[in-house]
Structure 1
Amino acid sequence: MINRDSLSDGAFLNSFKEALGDEWWSEERIEASMQDMLARRPPNQPVWVFAYGSLIWNPVFHFVESQPGRLPGWRRSFCIRLRAGRGSPEHPGRMMSLVAGGHTDGLALRLDEYTLEPELRMVWRREMVGGAYQPAWAPVQLEDGRCVEAIIFTANPDSPMHETDDSVETVAPLIATAHGVLGSNREYVRLLDAALKHYDIHDDYIQALAQRLEQLAPQADRTQVGSKTRVNTAGA
């Protein structure tokens, strides 16, 4: 489960070590990445994190301001092969990121300067487990008219986990049957779809994916039941 305790004591990070192998990032490497981003921080500006996925409904880290915002030039994409968390090596799913094109509506979350590093460390330990993301500073247009520089996490095309085909027809069958220690991949999309609707955010890609998963649900459920039956029979 992703919570403050599991991120603080290393349990979340270590739970990925075996599944990711050489792609797993150590605490030292994660810390170095975070400090590099802070060194490139826009001068005299607060630190915002742009939430476009699970950070919307389960941010975990503490922040002092939340504003709806639009990130131009990037769109949501299920382009990361998921072998842990909500997937497994036997049944990999897909994790969401950002790729170039269009725009993304989400939430901009501003961190408190007095607790900046420990709270940002929560974000880094969560997002940079396997190096599939590339953190960057990018302009985000807030709903109240302000334009701020925020930290975004985009897809790393050099990651071994990166997939170029993120079409709904390709990723939906994978997501429909993938599950891991954090739950099912399908549940992630359901939670994302619900969170976007809650904030009145429309995303054609996510809406189409959620609808396709609903269509695949009966078939996926039968597949999972059959798989469990075979496992139980083999172990009897």
Structure 2
Amino acid sequence: MSEPFVVFGYGSLIFKPPPHVIAQVPGFLKGYVRRFAQKSHDHRGTPENPGRVVTLVHKEDWDKFSASVSYALPSDAFPDDDVVWGVAYTIDPAYEAEVRDYLDYREKDGYTMETLDIHGISPEGAETIIIYNAFCYVGRNGNPSFIGSEPLDSLAYTIWKTIGPSGPNKDYLFKLAESVRELSPDSYDSHLFALEEHVKKLEQEHSSHSNIRLESVPNGHA
């Protein structure tokens, strides 16, 4: 009997699961960071104005990459003990080939399938591996869509203003942050939540400026 097909979602798969799921469980990866380091030309942006979506990078590789970009260090000073929370989905074996094709197409913009161990929290509160060799789509730093580390303010502005066929880039960020919060009492992501705060601040500033402009026009008409 073959091993079940389990795929780990750490980005949009958390709030938009694959089809034919027969079981799912929250868990996390250790030794990796989740970063908005991947351009999105086909979902949350366009070829002319690509958005930003998350990918996984090994923590040691990310530290080396960030260290080579002097302006990135102050923007990426997040705790070393952060882990990447997501959801492990077990796919109905009868539809494995169909779901693989679906995911390959959905993650075609620079992502590669890898296998990783998924950790979880036992009822006693201890960390343990709950699934070995789950499949996961990773945007390796050599793929054409990998953009790497950007200053948080600049990254937030790109996400705030960009729109693609799947909708506004900011909606992707907000849904992801909300979904990660709901996974577990222990789920947290310093980078994700800091970025969410920056984009919401841009939203508030834009809303305030729009209200001021409307109030300056008689009867609110342009």
Q: 1:96 to 1:221 in 2, by over 3 A?
A: farther
Q: TM-score, normalised by structure 1?
A: 0.69
Give a deviation string over 1:75-96, Cα, whole Å, max 9, x none: 1111112233221234322121
User: In structure 2, what residue type is equivalent to 1:69?
Assistant: G
164-173 or 67-76, which deviates more? 164-173
Q: How many angstroms does 1:59 deviate by?
A: 1.1
Of Structure 1 and Structure 2, the greater helix share is in: 1
What does 1:1-236 align with in structure 2 at a 5 Å threshold? Answer: 44-101=2-59, 103-128=83-108, 130=109, 132-143=110-121, 145=128, 146-200=130-184, 201-219=187-205
C-alpha distance in 1 between matches for 2:121 and 2:101: 27
> Which consecutive unaligned segments of at least 5 residues does structure 1 have?
1-42, 225-236
Contact 1:91 1:177 in 2 (8 A): no
Q: How many angstroms does 1:44 deviate by?
A: 4.4
Give a deviation string over 1:192-222, Cα, whole Å, max 9, x none: 1111122232111110010000111145569
Q: What RMSD in Å do the two structures reach over aligned CA positions?
A: 2.3
Give a deviation string over 1:156-178, Cα, whole Å, max 9, x none: 22222211214423311110100
Contact 1:79 1:97 in 2 (8 A): yes
Residue matched to 2:75: none
Q: 1:86 to 1:139 in 2, by over 3 A?
A: same
Query: Partner of 1:60: helix, strand, or coil?
Result: coil
Q: 1:147 to 1:59 in 2, by over 3 A?
A: closer
Misfit runs of 4+, over 6 Å: 221-224
- Higher RCO, 1 or 2 (CA under 8 Å, sep at least 6)? 2
Residue matched to 1:228: none
> Which consecutive unaligned segments of at least 5 residues does structure 2 have?
60-81, 123-127, 211-222
Query: Partner of 2:19: helix, strand, or coil?
Result: coil
Q: How many angstroms does 1:223 deviate by?
A: 10
Q: How many angstroms does 1:125 deviate by?
A: 1.4
Residue matched to 2:218: none
User: In structure 2, what residue type is equivalent to 1:171?
Assistant: L
Q: How many angstroms does 1:123 deviate by?
A: 1.4
User: In structure 2, what residue type is equivalent to 1:110?
Assistant: T
Query: Partner of 1:64: helix, strand, or coil?
Result: strand
Q: TM-score, normalised by structure 2?
A: 0.73
Q: What is the aligned length? A: 180
Q: How many angstroms does 1:143 deviate by?
A: 4.0
